[in-house]
Structure 1
Amino acid sequence: MYKLAQPELWTGRVDSETDESQFRYFQTVNFRNINDHFNESRQGIGLLGYAVDKGVELNKGRLGAKEGPDAIKKILANLPDLRKSNVYDYGNVEHDHDTLEETQKEFAQYVATSIQRHKQTFLLGGGHDIAYAQYLGVREAHSEASLGVINIDAHFDTRLEPQSTSGTSFRQILEQDQKADYLVLGIQQSGNTQGLFDYAEEKDIGFVYADELLHQISPPIKDKVERFIHDHDVIMFTICMDVIDSAFAPGVSANGVLGLFPHIVLELAKRIIPNEKVSTISIAETNPKYDVDNRTAKLSANFLHHFIL
């Protein structure tokens, strides 16, 4: 179910009502219905929430991620608008269909629309089943392209299940799309069964362990990411916040220790996002129910703030 943006989420400190150099996002954001037609062609930023944690429930995770999009928007609202890019908040999609797959297909239609309208599309979760919905939208917009999927995540999320969950998105993509490849950065040995590593070998999934990303990104890893981007026409980029150590991001659906430091994630993302091949960016699994002092929502919003071109 599509719900329009809520302007009341966008509030903050007023440093000036006239000097645009002192404006924050709540003073510059635009509110639009995704179904309306307007004259934008690959301009500005589309922002759409996936207020859904049904996939997390089906994956036996901690519920609460459906509150993530609004929590992130509340924090972003008070951050300074340094880029002067027009941001359009299209609201959220909620789950009210009989199956999660139907909700994912609905979300995908809006993703495709935003890709056609804007130079960047940011998708805020919600469970990481947002990734399959994101993929469907990217495929609708780029039907014949060679697609590279880059995921910063502690988990492969390639489980074999009879239905969509927050842990199946990337298996679904690989099983149905011969033109899609998958690269995961931040994999934790303790977060994936041997069967998932076997599947990664079978499908030639590229991955980098979290242990390899402790303090810096080594030249071989930089080359790995750059080659992956070079080899594909379009890049779909997603971050699962559970890749970050729980000291920095406690409010996620499946928190873990020995995770990445936020600045490493930021550095990785900055090597990916500026490329014109990147059509969409999603941030998944922010779960306000388990957050501490809005720590995870703040981190997600600040990632978004850095990613806006």
Structure 2
Amino acid sequence: MYREAQEDLWTGRLDSETDERHFRHFQTVNFDNLNDTDDTAKRNGVGMLGYAVDYGVKLNKGRIGAKEGPDAIRKAFASLPMVGSTEVTDYGNVEHEDDRPLEETQQEYANLVSKSIKRHKQTFLLGGGHDIAYAQYLGVRDAYPDKSIGVINIDAHFDTRKEEGSTSGTSFRQILEQDDNADYFVLGIQQSSNTQGLFDYADEQGVSYVFVDELYHQVSPPIKDKLERYIHDHDVIMFTICMDVVDSAFAPGVSAAAVLGLHPHIVLDLAKRIVPSDKVSTISIAETNPTYDVDSRTAKLTANFFHHFIK
């Protein structure tokens, strides 16, 4: 179910009402409804659309609570200082009703993602469970029906489980098995978080992956080169981050907390090699779970990731 943006979430410290050098995002945010018209005229800045859904996490036997993630991220993002003149248009959230198949909610979200892609150079997608990735893919494919899609995921998990329907752990298998013109590159994989069967499936499908321990201290030149080649070889890049790739010392509020995870600066270092590409029209961040957060640490980190991406 689509719900329009809640303006009361956008508050923050007011340093000036007239000097734009001291403005924060809550002072410049725009609000719009993606279903008002079929208008696809380009807007300034970036779009923002929440996926307030954790039913897929429940189906995947994870800790529920991520449906509160999008609004928690907005609250943290609202008070951050403006970056240049880039504005944000908040399009609200899609929510899930438990008596409805998850796939219907994902398709509804995908339709809105596709509309936002046509309006904005980039759209920020706020999760919610990582089943947002399959919905994101459906929207990207709708917007680019004939393009090759390179899916880049920063994650501790492959999320290629085999299930009857969608869950937060199936998105990338669904993409691979229904689209011959898409493939998958995941960075941050933990040996302890994936069964041998998932590694075997990745190898069979030609999935590119980088282990977490290859990224602890820096993004090495070979990994940078691999990323650059991957981006070069695809028409469109679908970029997604699962917050459980970040060590739980920095991101305790997730659906599956990580030990021996990545430090946030490594995630940013990877992202700055992806986000600036004109091929990246959507960026999703999944699994921010306020129920298990400490001092809003995870929501603030997610908000800061988006803040850096605007730069």
The two structures share one fold, judged by TM-score above 0.5: yes
1:153 to partner: Cα distance: 0.1
Match of 2:161 in 1: 159
Give unmatched runs, 5+ long, in structure 2. none
Matched, 1:85 2:86: yes
How many residue pairs were aligned?
309
1:39 to partner: Cα distance: 7.1
Work out the CA distance in 2 between the residues paired with 1:159 and 1:99.
Answer: 18
Q: Which moved more, 1:43-52 or 1:165-174?
A: 43-52
1:80-135 CA distances to partner (integer Å, 9 max, x unpaired)?
Answer: 01231121000000002610000000000000000000011000000000000000
Residue type matched to 1:239 in 2? I
Work out the CA distance in 2 between the residues paired with 1:154 and 1:296.
Answer: 16
Work out the CA distance in 1 between the residues paired with 2:84 and 2:58.
Answer: 37
1:141-184 CA distances to partner (integer Å, 9 max, x unpaired)?
Answer: 00000100000000000000001000000000000000001000
Residue type matched to 2:190 in 1? Q
Residue 218 of structure 1, aligned match among 213, 217, 220: 220
Contact 1:42–1:115 (8 Å) recurs in 2: no
Match of 1:41 in 2: 42
- Following superposition, which runs of at least 4 residues in structure 1 exceed 4 angstroms of deviation? none
1:265 to partner: Cα distance: 0.1
Match of 2:129 in 1: 127
Work out the CA distance in 2 between the residues paired with 1:154 and 1:39.
Answer: 36
Residue type matched to 2:91 in 1? Y
1:204-245 CA distances to partner (integer Å, 9 max, x unpaired)?
Answer: 000000000001000000011001000000000000000000
Match of 1:28 in 2: 28
Change beyond 3 A, Cα 1:207–1:45? same
Residue type matched to 1:18 in 2? T
1:279 to partner: Cα distance: 1.1
Work out the CA distance in 1 between the residues paired with 2:45 and 2:220.
Answer: 33
Contact 1:42–1:116 (8 Å) recurs in 2: no
Matched, 1:276 2:278: yes
Residue 298 of structure 2, aligned match among 296, 299, 304: 296
Contact 1:33–1:90 (8 Å) recurs in 2: yes
Q: Tell me, what secondary structure is at the counterpart of 1:172?
A: helix
Q: Tell me, what secondary structure is at the counterpart of 2:110?
A: helix
Match of 1:69 in 2: 70
Contact 2:67–2:128 (8 Å) recurs in 1: yes
Residue type matched to 2:49 in 1? L
1:281 to partner: Cα distance: 0.1
Q: Tell me, what secondary structure is at the counterpart of 1:281?
A: strand
Work out the CA distance in 1 between the residues paired with 2:32 and 2:44.
Answer: 14
Sequence identity percentage: 74
Change beyond 3 A, Cα 1:95–1:39? closer
Q: Tell me, what secondary structure is at the counterpart of 2:291?
A: helix
1:34 to partner: Cα distance: 1.1
Work out the CA distance in 1 between the residues paired with 2:310 and 2:101.
Answer: 33
Q: Tell me, what secondary structure is at the counterpart of 2:150?
A: strand
1:42 to partner: Cα distance: 5.5
Matched, 1:55 2:53: no
Contact 1:244–1:262 (8 Å) recurs in 2: yes
Q: Tell me, what secondary structure is at the counterpart of 1:116?
A: helix
Work out the CA distance in 2 between the residues paired with 1:274 and 1:79.
Answer: 20
User: Equivalences for 1:109-258 in 2 at 5 Å?
Assistant: 109-258=111-260
**TM-score, structure 2 normalization:** 0.98
The alignment's C-alpha RMSD in Å is 0.9
Matched, 1:265 2:267: yes
Give unmatched runs, 5+ long, in structure 1. none
Residue type matched to 1:28 in 2? T
Work out the CA distance in 2 between the residues paired with 1:278 and 1:42.
Answer: 17
1:43 to partner: Cα distance: 3.2
Q: Tell me, what secondary structure is at the counterpart of 1:222?
A: helix
Residue type matched to 1:195 in 2? G
**TM-score, structure 1 normalization:** 0.99
